[in-house]
Amino acid sequence: MWNYSFTLPSAMILLILVTYYFRRPRLPLRMNRTFLMLLLIDALTIVTDYASSRVDETYMNHSAALGYAANLAFFVFFLARIFCFFLYILDILENHVRLPARFRGWSSAVFVLSELVALSSPVTHAVFFMDESGYHRGPCYDVLYVCFFFYLALALFLILKNARKLPNPVRDGLLSVVAILTLGNIARILLPTLLVMNTFCLMAILVIYLSFQNPDFFLSDRGNAFNTRGFRFLLREWNQKDSYRLLAFAIRDYSEIRGVYGGLQMDRCIGQIIEFLTENYPECLVFYLRNGAFVLIGPKNMDCQTMSEDISGRFRDAWEVMDTEMLMKPVFVEVALEKKTADSERVISMLLLALDSAGRSEPGDDLAGPLSINAIDRYLVEKRALELALEQDRLEVYFQPLVDSKDGSLVGAEALARLRAEDGSLIPPMEFIPIAEKDGSIIALGEQVIRKTCQFIRDNDMEALGLKWINVNLSPHQCMSRDLADRFGAILREYGVPAELIHLELTEQSILDYAMLKNQLIGLQELGFQFSLDDYGSGYSNLTRVKQYPFKNIKIDMEVVQNYFRDRDPILPTLVQAFRQMNFSITAEGIETKEMADAMAEIGCDYLQGYYFSKPIPMSAFLMRYSVKS
């Protein structure tokens, strides 16, 4: 009665697919679970299809109960399989679009009803019944087709409705699955005795495997770790959960190390690291993202602290790759996923950014070390605000007065950059200057500050204000650019401002490598700029080194000044005297009280700066205040 010629080959191909699929690591994704269920149900459908057909053919040798059991099992799995295909299509759709809540629940109604009708058959004879002449279709047999076409039509509707939001290969893959299943069903209706439906289902499963399920799509090519795509998929699904923890680290200076050892060796080394991680942390999912960045995702009780110590411990030993010892240092980025509502794409891009910068930065740098998503969030907001301000020439420059210590009269001002966030609040320079230094925009930032300062000098009567000069801060990163003097010279000429009116402040940190700076400083000095050493006492510079530079003025760091008021030890007065003998003028920063101002004047400081006189204020406020006085 039945033609079985398609059954065995289908079962054999399915076996290969299953073996292949199970041999590779898989992520605990919903689509993977549905796919597994689909494989299982498909296998059971093939088996029960074959078994029930054999029982029906030889009904006279069996009891009616066996006939009912075999046929019922087949119908149950047959219906479950189509529903499973439908669920799988929903899973894939949901990787790209948001479906209405409870959609799955409602859409399962037809499946549940059909199953109930099928299961009632021994009593109601709805779908089939057995009698002395064997197996017969019941009056509601077409429930199978109704169920089948209902889910195919619903799937097609959803795919077409969201077609624009789906990447083309995803859309085409899903459409192919629907088309193959439809053809299979039509074949089943037209050729009921040919057991060909299973083959069509297998074809649909093959399309799914090739389009979405191949485990290699989610695996890194460096070893048995998952890749960025897998990380994206998992985080998207787990974003709202709080049942997992995440530990991330990057290899410091990965690109340079890769350059030194070569790509092949580096890849093998990454393979070894992955092996170490997967072997030592079997409860974790290990991801290799890119550029030496790894992520481990584990249960909520995962002890990130101990793990990072252990991993760092392993990294203290060399990795032996192709007879070479490779030494590397991991930098950890701790990610507290406190914002559960944050969309996962943002979390991922922030994490990648944090890992990138952790891999590049110096120890103690702003983005290295424990880092929360909030911190990265803020970092991105500030970076964006900085980009916009530089692009639209909206960086603000505030002035803080420098006064003569003898009589408190205005002699100069320090120009301090101010960045306004979108909400109107001010972002402190301590936050945006390091960002600008890191992404190179410090050059543009510095130019904008000096431009605006020049504009101020051009547009106002400096003498009437009592201003002899204006201090502008120069970052060490600016000094690295070879054409610094040319650019500053051009700006001075553009505004017709003599360089003598501008003093450049360099911090101790920038003078560590004199050889690097020498030419730039000489160039600037030839233009007529003078130099101040900023924040003296916050670093390590000694007097000999200070003397090598063309500084005219030393600014004592505010912490040194404020410490002096705590214990009054003789170091500061002695230092000031030494500087005076070396012909430097001295400025004390961070003067907040009259007592401080008097004491600093007494120990020999020439100029004072601090909140006691004024906080940094906008240029317009500065003009108002000092025009009136003069």
- Kindly tell me which of 298 and 610 has the beta carbon lying closer to ligand C2E: 610
Name the minimum Å distance from CB 421 to Mg ion.
22
Does residue number 91 form part of the binding site for Mg ion (CB under 5 A)? no
Q: What is the DSSP letter of 428?
A: P
Any idea what the Cα angle at residue 78 is, between residues 134 and 179, rounded to 5°? Answer: 125
> What distance, in Å, lies between the first and last C-alpha atoms of the chain?
113
> For residues 509 and 326, what is the distance between their CA atoms, to the nearest angstrom?
31
Name the minimum Å distance from CB 266 to ligand C2E.
36
Does residue number 610 form part of the binding site for ligand C2E (CB under 6 A)? yes
Does residue number 505 form part of the binding site for Mg ion (CB under 5 A)? yes
Q: Which stretch binds Mg ion (CB under 5 A): 140-148, 264-272, 467-475, 617-625?
A: 467-475
The one of ligand C2E, Mg ion, none whose footprint includes residue 417, by CB under 5 to 8 A per kind, is ligand C2E
Does residue number 427 form part of the binding site for ligand C2E (CB under 6 A)? no
In sequence order, the 6+-apart residues with CB closer than 8 A to the CB of 617 are: 398, 399, 400, 625
Name the residue with tokens 């610094």: 484
CA dihedral 78, 82, 87, 90 (to 10 degrees): 180
> For residues 493 and 503, what is the distance between their CA atoms, to the nearest angstrom?
16
Question: Where does 460-557 have alpha helices with state H?
Answer: 462-465, 476-479, 484-495, 514-527, 543-548
> For residues 65 and 122, what is the distance between their CA atoms, to the nearest angstrom?
9
Does residue number 600 form part of the binding site for ligand C2E (CB under 6 A)? no
Neighbouring CB atoms inside 10 A of 581's CB total 8
Name the minimum Å distance from CB 207 to ligand C2E.
59
Name the minimum Å distance from CB 520 to ligand C2E.
14
Q: Which of residues 392-421 bind Mg ion (CB under 5 A)?
A: none
Q: Which stretch binds ligand C2E (CB under 6 A): 256-264, 296-304, 313-321, 424-432?
A: 424-432
Name the minimum Å distance from CB 276 to ligand C2E.
42
> For residues 569 and 563, what is the distance between their CA atoms, to the nearest angstrom?
9
Q: Which of residues 535-554 bind ligand C2E (CB under 6 A)?
A: 535
Does residue number 475 form part of the binding site for ligand C2E (CB under 6 A)? yes
Q: Which of residues 300-339 bind Mg ion (CB under 5 A)?
A: none
Number of residues in contact with ligand C2E, rule: CB under 6 A? 22
Name the minimum Å distance from CB 538 to Mg ion.
8
> For residues 365 and 529, what is the distance between their CA atoms, to the nearest angstrom?
31
3-state secondary structure of 222: coil
- Kindly tell me which of 428 and 440 has the beta carbon lying closer to ligand C2E: 428
Among 473, 475, 520, 541, binds Mg ion (CB under 5 A): 473
Q: Which stretch binds ligand C2E (CB under 6 A): 3-11, 53-61, 94-102, 584-592?
A: 584-592
Name the minimum Å distance from CB 508 to ligand C2E.
11
Given the DSSP bridges, would you call strands 530-536 and 426-427 parallel, antiparallel or unpaired?
Answer: unpaired
- 438's enclosing H/E stretch is helix 429-439
Using CB under 6 A as the criterion, which residues of the chain lie in contact with ligand C2E when the complex forms? 400, 416-417, 428-430, 433, 446, 449, 473, 475, 505, 534-535, 558, 590-592, 609-611, 616
